[in-house]
A and B are shown apart, each in its own frame.
Chain A
Amino acid sequence: MRFLARRLLLLVAVLLAVTFCGFSAMNLLGDPLTNVVGVLAELDCDAIAAGTAPDTTVDAASSDCDTVAAARAQYHLDRAVPMRYLLWLGDLAIGDFGTSFQNDQPVSAVLREKLPETLLLLVMAQIVSLGIAVPWGVIAAYKANRAFDRGSTVASFGLLSVPNFALGVILLYLLALRWQIFPSAYESGDFTSRLFSLILPALTLGLPLAASYQRLLRTDLITTLQEDYVHMARAKGLPPMRIMFRHALRPSMFSVVTVFGVSTGTLIGGSLIVERIFGIPGIGREIVTAVVRDDFPVVLAIVMVVAIAFVVLNFLVDLLYSWLDPRVRTS
C-alpha cells in the first residue's frame, strides 16, 4: 500500500516536471500568439482601438482584433508564463486539455481518435518482440557458442543496426509487395483487419527490440545455467527444455524486464516514423505536425500521455521484479 502511494506521488511529480518543462519550452520558443492566429498577431490592435492607426486598415482589422483578443483570452496569453501554466493545469484538472491550434478541435477528441491506434501498435510491437526474443534467447543460450548462437549474434546485431525506416521499407517490400502476406498500409475497418494491417508495423518496431532482448536474455541465461540449482535440476533428470523454461528462464528475465520498462520511449520515437511509412493515423504522426506548428496543447497532452505510460509501465515492471524473485518481496 505504501509502495503504491509512493508510486502515485512519483507519478504526480513526474507529470508536473514534464508538463512544466514542455509548457515553458513551447511558450518561450516562438510567440504562441503567432502560432494561434498567424499573421493577425502582427496587427497593432491597441493602435486600432485608439484610432491612431492608418485609416485604410481599420475596417478590416477591427473584427480581426476581436479574434486576437479571443485567442489571448482562451490561451491566457496576456499572463506571464508560470501563471499560464497554472491556469492550464487548472483546466486540465477539470478534464479540459484545451483546443488544438490547427483545426480548433478539442485536444481530448484528438487523443481519443489517435491514441488507440498507437497504443495498439506499441502493445503489438512488445508482444511481437518478446514472443520472438524469449524462444530465440533460450535456444541461443542452450546452444551457446555453437553455430546457431553465432549466427543469431550476427542476426541480432544486424537488426539492431538497421534503422527503423530502412527495416520498415525492407519488410514492406518483402512481406507486403513481393510475397503479399500482409497489407502494405493501415486498413481502417473492423478490429481484425486493423490488427492484421498493424502486424507489419509491429514487426518493424519489434524486431530490433527483440534483438536487444535476445542479447540480454542469452547472457543472463548463460550465467543462470552455471548455477547449482540448474545442476540440481539436471540431476533430478528433468529434460533440458523443461529446465530452461521452468528453472532458468524466470531468474534470467531481470535485464529484459528492465529494458522492457524503459523501451517505451524509444518505441514511441520509432512509431513516429513507422506510422508515417504505413499510414497509421496515430499520435506519432499527430505529434510531428503539432511540434512543427507549435501546437502546444496537443504536444503537451501527448507528452503527458507518454509520461503517464512510462511511469505506469515502470511501476508494473517493479511488480514484475517481485514476481520474478520472491526475495524482492521480503526485503
Chain B
Amino acid sequence: MLSVRDLQVRFATERGTVNAVNGVSFDLHEGKTLAIVGESGSGKSVTAKTLMNLLPRSAHVSGEVTFNGQDVRALAAAGTKHFFGVQMAMVFQDPMTSLNPVKKVGEQIAETLRYHLGRSRSEALSEAQNLLTTVGTPEPERRISQYPHELSGGLRQRVVIAMALACQPRLLIADEPTTAVDVTVQKHLLDMLDELRRERGMALILITHDLGVAHGRADDVAVMYAGRLVEVAAAETLFEDMRHPYTEALLRSIPRINDPAHQRLDPIPGNPPELIDPPDACSFAPRCDYAHADCLDGVPELSGQLGQHRFACLHPTGGEDSISSNRDTPRSGRD
C-alpha cells in the first residue's frame, strides 16, 4: 500500500547541508504495523514528516513515495485536497503542544469532518463525541466543549488520536505517540492504537526510540541510524536474530523484566554522529563494539532484497550459529 523508495532529505543550514534521511526504502502493506526505531536524530521523525508533507520549505527531498499507486509527493506539490488527513493521518509526539490551546477540543476534531467530509457543524460535533468514546475518553459529551488545558496529558493524546482517526485514514503515522505521556498511560494508548488498527484494518507506522514498544505490536521493524536504515526485518525475525550491532545495543539499553533488580543498563557509548558532511564510512563504527578497520571504508549497503531480513553491516553479530545466550526478548510494554 505504501512504498518508499530511496528517500533522501537534506536541509541546507548555515553550518552546511544536513543529510537527515539517506536512501530510505521500505514497503508497508494494508493493515500492517511497521515500527521505525532509532535514537533522537536518527531521521525517523523527518521520515514521517516527509510522508505527511510537513517539512519546511528549506528541506530538499528526493525519492519516491507511493500510496495505493498515487505519487504522494506529486499530490502534495499539486495541493490536492482531501488526501492528507483523509488517506493518511498523523499523531504527534507531544499532546501538550499539538492541540490548539484556544480552540475547544470538539471543534478541533470536528474541523476535519467538516472540511473533508462536508459535515454540518452539529453532525461533526456528534461524530467527534463518538470518536472520543472510541478512543476511550470518559464523559465525551463534556470533553467536546473543554479546552485542551483542561485535560490531562493522557486525555489530550486520546483527543489527538481521535482527531487523526476522524476521517478513517488508511494509514496512521504515530510519531512517538507515548513519549510525552505518563508511563502508566503509555501501555493503554499503545494497546488502543493497536486495537483500532486491527478493527479498522488500517496500516500503522509506529515511530519510537524504544524497541520494547515495537515488540508484540509491530509486524515489521526498521531500525534507523544517522538517517539510514541499518536493519529491517519482520518483527519475530528481528527479535530472534538481530544482526546489526546497533540493534543489539539498542536492545541492551532498555530494561528487561527478567533482569535481576538493580542491574545496570548498558547505554550506547558516545553520541549519534553529526549529519553534516558524514564520513564515507559506517556511521555507527565509532560506537560499535564489533568495529573492524574495514568499517571505515565506505558506507555498508543493506544486504538482501526488499521484504527480506536486511542489515547494513560488514561484521554482523549473531547468525545461525551464535545466538548469544544473554539475549532475551525485550520488555514488551505489556507487562
Binding site for B on A (CB under 8 A): 227-229, 231-239, 242, 246-247, 250-251, 324-327, 330
Contacts and interface: CB of A to CB of B under 8 A. Distances in A.
A325 B79 CA distance: 31
A242 B49 CA distance: 20
A242 B115 contact: yes
The interface residues of chain B, by DSSP majority, are classed as loop
Residue in A228, A232, A233, A325 with the greatest tally of chain B CB atoms within 10 Å? A232
A83 to B, nearest CB: 53
A232 B116 CA distance: 15
Contacts of A227: 97
A11 to B, nearest CB: 29
A236 to B, nearest CB: 4
Given A228-B92, A247-B103, A236 B98 contact: no
A208 B196 CA distance: 55
Interface stretch (B34-42, B83-91, B227-235, B275-283): B83-91
Nearest to A250: B102
A232 B111 contact: no
A233 B115 CA distance: 12
Residue in A229, A233, A237 with the greatest tally of chain B CB atoms within 10 Å? A237
B169 to A, nearest CB: 10
B160 interface: yes
A233 B84 contact: no
B33 interface: no
B60 interface: no
Contacts of A235: 52, 54, 84-85, 89-90, 92, 164
Contact of B100 (A237, A239, A242, A247): A247
The interface residues of chain A, by DSSP majority, are classed as helix
Interface string B149-193: 110000000001001100000000000000000000000000000
8 contacts: A228-B97, A231-B92, A232-B100, A232-B163, A237-B84, A238-B115, A325-B101, A326-B101
B178 to A, nearest CB: 16
A251 B116 contact: no
B83 A237 contact: yes
Contacts of B100: 229, 232-233, 247, 251
Nearest to A224: B100
A251 B111 contact: no
Interface in B89-120: 89-90, 92, 94, 97-103, 111-112, 115-116
B112 A237 contact: yes
A255 to B, nearest CB: 15
Contacts of B94: 228
Contacts of A330: 149-150
B85 A238 contact: yes
Nearest to A327: B149
Contacts of A238: 85, 111-112, 115
A242 B79 CA distance: 14
A231 B112 contact: no
A30 B94 CA distance: 67
B82 interface: yes
Contacts of A325: 101-102
Nearest to A237: B85
B68 to A, nearest CB: 16
Cβ-closest 3 pairs across A and B: A237-B85, A237-B84, A228-B97
Given A228-B94, A330-B149, A234 B102 contact: no
Contacts of B26: none
B334 interface: no
B147 interface: yes
Given A229-B100, A251-B102, 7 more contacts: A227-B97, A232-B92, A237-B85, A237-B112, A237-B115, A238-B112, A325-B102
A231 B89 contact: no
Given A237-B116, A238-B85, A229 B52 contact: no
A238 B52 CA distance: 12
A321 B73 CA distance: 40
Residue in A233, A250, A324 with the greatest tally of chain B CB atoms within 10 Å? A233
A242 B112 CA distance: 11
Contacts of B81: 237, 239
Contact of A326 (B86, B102, B164): B102
B277 to A, nearest CB: 26
A229 B84 contact: no
Nearest to A242: B115
A247 B86 CA distance: 19
Contacts of A324: 102
A239 B83 CA distance: 11
Residue in A236, A238, A251, A327 with the greatest tally of chain B CB atoms within 10 Å? A236
Nearest to B83: A237
Given A237-B82, A237-B83, A326-B147, A232 B98 contact: yes
B149 A236 contact: no
A63 B18 CA distance: 94
Interface string B44-59: 0000010011100000
A325 B92 CA distance: 22
Contact of A229 (B79, B85, B97): B97
Contacts of A251: 100-102
Contact of A232 (B86, B99, B147): B99
A228 B94 CA distance: 8
B154 to A, nearest CB: 17
B16 to A, nearest CB: 20
Contacts of B89: 235-236
A229 B98 contact: yes
Given A246-B111, A250-B102, A326-B147, A234 B54 contact: yes
A47 to B, nearest CB: 75
A232 B174 CA distance: 12
Nearest to A145: B57
